[in-house]
Amino acid sequence: MNINKKKLVGIILLTVFSTWFLTVGFLLWALDIDGTKLGNLSRFLGALKFIETRYVNTVDDTTVMNGAISGMVQALGDPHSIYLDSAMYRQLTEQVEGHFGGIGVYMGFKEGKVELISVIPDTPGERAGLLPNDEILAVNGVAVAEMQPEEVALNIRGEVGTEVNILVHRAGEEDKVYTIVRDTITVKTVAGRMLEGDLGYLRIAAFSENTGEEFATTYEALKKQGAKGIILDLRANPGGLVTSCVEVARHLVPAGNIVSVIDRDGDRQDFDSDLTAIELPLTVLIDGNSASAAEILAGALQDTHTATIVGTKSYGKGSVQTVIPLFHDDAVKLTIAKYYTPSGRSIDGIGIEPDVVVELPPNATSDEQLQKATAVLLGQISPGEEG
């Protein structure tokens, strides 16, 4: 009887351990965890356990895990990939929707510096006295050098009615801290007006959720006002939603490819236009702060010989990010693919070279780039008039 009991217990234990090993083995296989990954996972869990049991202060597991995820993403060395805690994730969502709590500035990120590209009229930033070309050195006491570009922008945004402290460097003046109360910033991304010579001027400040609709309305209004050609201003446009960019492009790019998105495995997604005829001659303005979706549009128009590109070389952000929600109202914004213009160009880290290069001096009293774009467009409408 005792022997049978021992055998039974042995069988049960063997079954339990076999089931455990099979389950663990299946999970390792399903998650594609090989020996190296298993070793790294063990190191991570060991470090986590050591922190939980030996760190001098009480440890909040969620805070530690947030830091681990953030560090993992930062280790990629990609400035466009970032961990978004719950506050940053909410702010990013509001920005895409076209309204958020902030101070009303557009920023450019280049060579480790953060400079103001423009200040939106009648916003807290303008009322505080911020100016284009101001360099932001720190936000709430944290140097921008210690943050990723996305973090700088998201830390300046925040709940309406709260304060943000920004340390600003302005040429010829001492560095100054501006304390600014955030307000609701509603961004209308498209604006247009008629210029002399029956030309329409159309500016896209960014590509948000409503940009496609705003563009269509403004574009049709300019045509009804008798526009014989369009100057499309994409300067200081940081990009945004690729889908909104494609909506705009389908009004301007002839039938065929607009952009192709290709991931690490070579899987390809094509976005096409079915526009049968180009309605109006077009020139496009770009500069060093035209990035991402703005470059997609400019590149498609250049490759299809639909527009003359005027200005200076664009930023060179040819990668595509997606936002992956996690389980605590947080998310990871991750680079997942690169985009290619209709001719197959990848401009990531390269930028788009304009057809007509026009530098804009720092202290220019007139918009020489716009003047040149106007002259080029008039020359297309009435050959011989370009000056």
Catalytic residue annotation? 292, 303, 317
83 phi/psi in degrees, rounded to 5 = -85, 135
Across 108-142, b (16+ Cβ under 10 Å) vs e yields bbeeeebbbbbbbeebbbbebebeeebebbbbeee
Region of 42 (left: φ > 0; alpha: ψ -120 to 50; beta: rest) is: alpha
How far apart are alpha carbons 20 and 22 in whole angstroms? 5
CB 248 within 8 A of CB 70: no
Task: Write the CB contacts of 40 (distance below 8 Å, at least 6 apart in sequence).
Answer: none
Please give the structure tokens belonging to residue 188. 């209308």
Q: What distance in Å separates the CA atoms of residue 29 and residue 31, rounded to the nearest whole number?
A: 5
Start-to-end Cα distance in the chain: 108
Say how far residue 47 (Cα) sits from the centre of its chain.
Answer: 34
